[in-house]
Amino acid sequence: MKATHRWTVALAGNPNSGKSTVFNNLTGSSQHVGNYPGVTVEKREGFAGSDNKEFRIVDLPGTYSLTAYSEDEVVARRFIVEEKPDVVANIIDASNLERNLYLTAQLLELEQPTVLVLNMIDVASGRGYSINNKALEEVFASPVVRTVGSRNQGTKEILAACAASAGQQHQSWRIDYGNLESAIEQLSHELTANGEGLRFPVRWLAIKLLENDEEILRLIRDLSAGQTIIHRAAKLRQELQTKNDEDPELTIADRRYQFVGKVLSRILTVQSDKNQTTSDKIDKVLTNRIFGLPIFFALMWLLFNLVFTLAEAPQSWLEDGAAALGTWVGAHMAEGDLRSLLVDGIIGGVGGVIVFLPQILLLFFGIALLEGSGYMARAAFIMDRVLRSVGLHGKSFIPMLLGFGCTVPAVMATRTLENPRDRLVTILVSPFMSCSARLPVYTVLISAFFSKESAGSVLFSIYVLGIVIAVLMARIFRSFLFKGAVEPFVMELPPYHLPTLRSVLIQMWERGVLYLRKAGTIILAVSVLIWFLTNYPSEVQYSKDYDTLITQSQTLFEEQAAKEIAPALQVENIEQHQDFMALLEKAQAIDEDFEKQTAELESDSPEFAAIELAKEEQFAALKAENEKLFSLAERYQELKATAEDEVAALEQEQAAEKLVASYAGRIGQAIEPLVKPLGFDWKISIGLFAGVAAKEVLVSTLGTIYSVGEADETSVALQEALVADPVFSPLVAYTLMVFVLLYSPCFAALAVIRRETNSWKWSLFTMVYTIVVAWVVSFLVYTIGGLLGF
């Protein structure tokens, strides 16, 4: 039988109450993630079915209360009142009832049908806690369900209780606030008379006015009698402050805790000989003042390697796949702008996005494991006392650490920071952690301008500089942009337990899909833009007739081959001599096999030498078969290689001229005056401009400008070209490395910053301020270095 109605169930609870695990148990893969409109708070929804009933499950942000101190709290209470779910399922950590029931009391004051879900009941039992369900149901006038989310126990019972409670009239329930009740009554009366259109419960609104809740004050101001009500509430708050010598907000909180205390004395029995839990014993080691930090660093090192070492192989597969697709498309399309757009712009752009996916998945797999096990809260506790001195929160360390591999997952990892201010500061300084994409730039410049003995020290200094600048900027942001004391580190340490594989995989997968859906589309658009800027205008007035010169070079090769090789073979056309063509194919196969085997080897390694020796032996064997043919084949290959080199040089020279004349080239020349004080010229400007898309692009861009073909960090030709350029020197090279370290994060990172902050404002701010910092620091390095004679 098909379900006739879909019930909306809102899951509400404290952080670390197991709410996400319960949500995943209820919805499985039938869920999606987004953001609530206008805020950065995550919105998770899913669907479930039981006994011919359908449920829409909404996972509200984890909160400790329903005040207006954070977006999470405001979003949670707005959803309950404005969306009016059929039932609220309050997920309660049964092993920590005092803290959790404080939220329960506030949820029930919103006058919605509520089911109390006592989760982690196994942990509570292990601590010697015995909870009286019947008494709890009587106190809160709501049904109670016992669950063990980590084992998927009680999931069906939650749905059954929600189905039974949905649509039921909320039973009258309230806390007695003692000498505040008269003021609550007065405000309730005025709100009843003048609060038409307000969807919040009247008594709850009256309490919030006494708490001086800013969001509620804004709502009341919109009423015709709003100012009168607000003035009346302010007067009552002042009277209560004078009478009780305490802020009414504190009095209300105290009354709630007193109520929770009375409830606990009625429903909870504790077996005293089980106070020392397994989690307590583990914490004696993991949070120890001496061993805590080393253990934490070891775990972070492991996570770091999982993300950036294990991702290497799948990243390579994705890169190869994108390259193969580009090659296939290029081979089946006529040369022109459309092919260039598809191959270089769209396929290249999508490939640049997908290549990050293994890192994203592994990152969130590791984070989900740490969060689900309960260790993440301990990690934040351990690092807090280290980072507090520079205005950062303990949880900031994990994103900053991951930034050494890639800024994209580093920014996404800031989701573990609940406080928006701490999260923003961490996002803003994470780009200064030197990501792996910058390493090719460092490698080229260090190899070209520094000795092998000093190379390691130079590279180390760049990484250290990034850390120093990040720390300084964090201090500046906290002192000026985000003023105020560092938020106190207050966090309950949840008990250790094994997370469910389903929860870990779902969290990992939903982050990966979200990344591809949101950041991927933005990066694709930007990649197409970069393609356009570097390829247009298409009509360029070249200094030479390159097409004619290329044709002449190819014709000259054919003429020389016909003059020198064909007569010796006694044929008119070289291709007519089958033995000669077979010899050429064998020689070519040997060369290709050699290139393939040595692609990942260092030229001075024993493995390279062994493969090179085997190649020479193969050629010697070919020569022994027919020395005359072999000599002719060598001469043919010499002529062909000379022609190919000439053509490649002409093509690269043409590409360089086209790049200079392109919109990107014009931009590089236009901004040259801005970077000239750093020792840079227009060629470096173009590289830096292209490097905004992805830092490693700077190397290939310089390779094009210097007409050395496809360049990477091992390109000797590019290194020689840089050394030959009078603009470059060791000081300019070091200054360029500093600038690359500090200036704007790549478009992938900027897109994710936009996604995580829900605003382009912070992406633009990050781009601008990092460029300013890069310029200032690079200017100091170049100027001081020059004064010191470097």
Q: Which residue positions form the known binding site?
A: 13-20, 24, 27-28, 38-42, 59-62, 119-122
Q: Torsion-angle region of residue 178: left (phi > 0), alpha (psi -120 to 50) or beta?
A: left
Count of beta carbons in the 10 Å neighbourhood of residue 469: 20
> Are the CB atoms for 114 and 92 separated by under 8 Å?
no
Q: Which residues are annotated as a binding site for GTP?
A: 13-20, 38-42, 59-62, 119-122
Tokens 């090769």, residue? 557
How does strand 144-146 pair with strand 114-119? parallel
Whole-angstrom Cα distance, residue 122 to residue 23? 18
- For every residue of 401-447, DSSP letters joined together read HHTTT-HHHHHHGGGG--SHHHHHHHHHHGGGS--GGGHHHHHHHHH
At which residue do the structure tokens 């290194």 appear? 719
Contact 495, 123 (CB under 8 A): yes
Q: DSSP character for 146?
A: E
Question: Among residues 157, 4, 171, 169, which one has the least CA distance to residue 89?
Answer: 157
Place of tokens 């809160």: 140
Residue 43's SS3 state is strand
**In whole angstroms, what is the distance from residue 427 CA to residue 415 CA?**
10
String of DSSP letters for 251-289: HHHHHHHHHHHHHHHHHEEE-GGG-S-HHHHHHHHHT-T
Dihedral, 746, 527, 765, 477 alpha carbons, nearest 10: -20
**Residue 255, token pair as written in the block:** 């009354």
- The SS3 assignment for 148 reads strand
Q: Contact, 583 vs 634, CB < 8 A?
A: no
Residue 767 neighbours by CB distance under 10 Å: 19
Amino acid at position 523, single letter? I
- Output DSSP code: residue 335: S
Q: Under a CB-based contact definition with an 8 Å cutoff, are residues 781 and 738 in contact?
A: yes
Q: Which of 242, 67, 73, 101 is nearest to 175 (CA)?
A: 101
Here the tokens at position 783 are 């100027």
Q: Which residue from 504, 469, 525, 509 is spatially nearest to 346, judged by alpha carbons?
A: 525
Q: Of 584, 582, 609, nearest to 597 (Cα)?
A: 609
Residue pair 275/127 in contact (Cβ under 8 Å)? The answer is yes
Three-state SS for 11? strand
Structure tokens at 599: 């692609």
Binding site per annotation, positions for Mg(2+) = 24, 27-28
- Residues, the chain, total? 790
How far apart are the C-alpha atoms of 499 and 497, rounded to whole Å?
6
Count other Cβ atoms within 10 Å, centred on residue 780: 12
Burial class (CB in 10 A: 0-12, 13-18, 19+), 570: exposed
Strand partners, 116: 90, 144
DSSP 477: I
CB atoms near residue 651 (< 10 Å):
14
Can you tell me the distance from the alpha carbon of 143 to that of 139, in angstroms, rounded to the nearest whole number? Answer: 10
Nearest to residue 157, comparing CAs of 141, 143, 139?
143
Cβ burial 115-150 (10 Å sphere, 16+ → b, else e): bbbbbbbbbbbebebebeeeebeebbebbbbbbbbb
Q: What is the largest CA-CA distance in the chain?
A: 118
Residues 55, 162: Cα–Cα separation, whole Å: 9
